[in-house]
Amino acid sequence: MKPLTTAFTLLLMIFAATARAELALDVPVIELKPKPEDEVVRTTFKFRNKGDKPVKVLALESACSCLSAELDKAEYQPGEEGTGSAEFKVSTFVGRHEKMVLVSTDDPKQPEWQIQFVLDVPAVVDIEPKTLQWWVGDEPVEKSATVKINGDMPMKLLKITATRESVDFSFKEVTPGREYVVTVKPKSTSEVTLGALKIETDSKIPKYQRQLAFFSIYNKPAAEPQQK
């Protein structure tokens, strides 16, 4: 009996060593695609304990204050499916952004589980380049930026104001409601200057009624000495 008892004990030790909990999403990442007018986007997602022992959730922590998430319960049995919900504050985000929620568990082999989110916000108003730049001492030549309206609804540029009086500026319509050219010319490039252009539109969506473009005059970086 003693050898049998020893073998049984050894089997239990091997099973305990290989037993594991593993929380995992049904998809690689959770993708959020808000509409242009959305201020907040919400979603639900599924996951599963793919391990062979229970796992208890101890805490959730978001890497960004813009993202919050919660799970439907605190403990999941082997093979059990869970449901989570998440809320993302879109604010002024534009383009593709990767965010993460960190889940702390009681499993020593998976003490932290990362839930990956991808937020893809359409660029309704695209300003290129976003910043017009000159070097100190440059010829104060005229430079231009293009404003394109990419959303479903056209927008009309109503007015532009500058935060500094050291530049002259104007804009013209290229395609009605869709494309405009903003032109800026510094009155002087004798000193470092940072400023912004406040662009007002007739958009029905509040966050697109005011856009910003920038202009700057910087000191030119010193040339690096050539190596002999």
Last residue of a domain, one of 103, 121, 139: 121
My answer on whether 169 and 134 are in the same domain is yes
Q: Read off the pLDDT band of 7 (50, 70, 90).
A: very low
Phi/psi at 36 (5° precision):
-55, -35
How high is the pLDDT of residue 135? 96
> Please, which residues have CB within 8 angstroms of residue 86's CB and are 6 or more apart in sequence?
30, 32, 42, 43, 44, 45, 67, 68, 69, 101, 117
The answer to the question of residue 31 being in a domain is yes
My answer on whether 129 and 116 are in the same domain is no
Whole-prediction pTM? 0.66
Last residue of a domain, one of 121, 144, 172: 121
For residue 176, give its domain range. Answer: 125-218
Extract long-range pairs of 57-63: CB within 8 Å, 24+ residues apart: 57/103, 57/104, 57/105, 58/104, 58/105, 58/106, 59/103, 59/104, 60/101, 60/102, 60/103, 60/104, 61/101, 61/102, 61/104, 62/99, 62/100, 62/101, 62/102, 63/99, 63/100, 63/101, 63/102
How many domains does one find in the chain?
2
Average pLDDT over residues 173-180: 96
Whether the per-residue pLDDT at 6 is higher than 60: the answer is no
My answer on whether 173 and 91 are in the same domain is no
Average pLDDT over residues 75-89: 95
Closest CA to 32 of 92, 86, 104: 86
How high is the pLDDT of residue 1? 44
The answer to the question of residue 6 being in a domain is no
pLDDT digits (tens, 9 = 90+) for 147-163: 999 888 899 999 999 99
The answer to the question of residue 66 being in a domain is yes
My answer on whether 30 and 43 are in the same domain is yes
Please name the amino acid found at residue 78: P
How high is the pLDDT of residue 95? 86
The answer to the question of residue 139 being in a domain is yes
Whether the per-residue pLDDT at 27 is higher than 80: the answer is yes
The answer to whether the beta carbons of residues 69 and 114 sit under 8 Å apart is no
pLDDT digits (tens, 9 = 90+) for 198-217: 999 999 888 889 999 999 99
Last residue of a domain, one of 63, 89, 121: 121
How high is the pLDDT of residue 81? 96
Q: Read off the pLDDT band of 228 (50, 70, 90).
A: low
Residue 6 CA to its chain's centroid (Å): 56
Residue 163 sits in a domain of what CATH number? 2.60.40.10
